[in-house]
Structure 1
Amino acid sequence: MKRIFSGVQPTGNLHLGNYLGAIRNWVRLQNEYECIFCVVDMHAITVWQDPAELKKATREVTASFIAAGIDPEKHVLFNQSAVPAHAQLAWVFNCVARIGWLNRMTQFKEKAGKHRENASVGLYAYPNLMAADILSYKATHVPVGEDQKQHLELSRDIAQKFNNDFEAEVFPLPEPLIFGSATRVMSLRDGTKKMSKSAESDFSRINMTDSADTIAQKIRKAKTDPEPLPESLDGLDSRPEAANLVGIYAALRDIDRAQAIAEVGGKPFSEFKGILTEVAVEHLAPINARMRELLDDPAQIDAVLHRGMERARAISEPVIDEVYEKVGFLKP
């Protein structure tokens, strides 16, 4: 059986990069894999979150999943904190993983910056929680971006060490699913930086909740250079903003960048931005409308999460029982 686990943190609005780089790919995987999708609210609190905003963001992320095409009836969709197995298995993995492994995690260094001594223990150890997220369901595959590949490798190391320590094949070694050209959508204000929820300027990203007028305004104000679009892919190499906008156009049209250049190469940015706006609005407007409909009825979202929680617990509880037996914990 092929089973996927993947999740998104509820920290601010999801944006076009989250959608093109992750959520749209998850939608396409639903016919091939058994899928478990999670709003990872426990990961979110590794840095301070306003409690009211966290609840709101959890519902927004859930709504975006459903609006983008995730089927919560066919697959499992829930919020992480509702399923005890994540925290239970994370503690076991805290005792399996080695300090040296965590010290090699580059993302902690990036997120903690110069203030490592003030970072939470949760931020430091959260790769162990990520391993618990995946292995609580014995997932065989995990869709990841390049920035998460190192954490998946750690999950494999933890699974292998647990199996070796207790001389039992309890966990599979999950395989990465890394997608192609749409996995990195860059900032509309700086084509060398990844589009981010945490960027100060809202004009650096297109949010999943943006209206058609807002999308048009953001694309119109997106940073460009004075030259028209090149007529070959090679011409994008030294032009990060042009490369980013062409990449977004290609991803939204579901074509490769060579086809995109064949369609829009040589056009001035004033013309191309109009074309890109039309494509973006056409693609995102139905998702935006469905999100608004769902968010107007939070009880409906909560009901989806509750059903998902029950299904997630049914899968994860036998795994925890098996782990506790191997570790030597007495049954209550």
Structure 2
Amino acid sequence: MRTLSDMHTVALATAGHLLHFELGVAYEIFGNPPQEAVDGWYDVRLCGPGPVRVGPFAVEPDHGLDRLAEAGTVILPACADIDEPPPPELVEAVRAAHAAGARIASLCTGAFTLGAAGLLDGRRATTHWAHTAELSARHPRAVVDPDVLYTDNGSVLTAAGKAAAVDLCLHLVHLDHGAAVANAVARRLVMPPHRPGGQAQFVSTPVRVTGDHALASVLAWAMERLDQPLTVTHLARQANTSPRNLARQFRAVTGQTPLRWLLTQRVRRAQELLETTDESVEAVATATGMGTATTLRRQFKRIVGVPPDNYRRSFRASPR
């Protein structure tokens, strides 16, 4: 049986005609350890049958597809043309990797390779909203959800479009290394902490918030004050705009209302404190602006799915 340490080997499957963004994002996130990753990082391998087209580029893999079965995590980047069947040798290698116990994650249209391998049968899955109907038609036994950013079935994960590929990669880092390290990677990418998978795909602008974006300083300001009773009025005043205009900007950039975004960040901070400190749930509630342990427990369970105490026990019981 595989252990979590085996999952530090990440194989990027480079076969067929791929899109460069998703491959580049996966390589950037898994190939560059942040300073906070004190317990080791990933060994990233490019695995394919030979040179492949990746957008306008050519990529030379350093391992064959047979090495997918030796990886703990296999990443399937987006394919450029869903009408072009995935290479049979890739499909067989993905099946073999899954049978060997690997965690398989598809980014965007990489889900069609998972479907061809039969790994979406009976599982929730997603892909870019423009292709969810086709994915469902080709693989009717899959439970295709067009309204989420990513799905996590344990050993099989899928992501929607480009920004969601970043979210899923950060989700994997969080699973393996904890919230603090995942947040550090997000900061390096100049992004807010990753969005939960159940959030809707329809965000009118990418989630990336660069230093000159109107919301960049407000997000950073709020993240430093999560222990305080912030309101939309406080945020709007900091942004020098009206609450209504602020709400429009938040919806466009994060896909959430300001208050929903604040609540999500408070819960993410609570996860980090539960993972890295021995503070009581009451103290964590205070440090994250939740007020009381009762409020924290209610919101934490609603967003994360388990109570804070169970989360702490489960995470600390997992090998690093």
TM-score norm. by structure 1 comes to: 0.31
Q: Which has the higher strand share?
A: 2
TM-score norm. by structure 2 comes to: 0.31
Structure with higher Rg: it is: 1
Q: Which has the higher helix share?
A: 1
- Point out which structure has higher relative CO (alpha carbons under 8 A, 6+ apart): 1
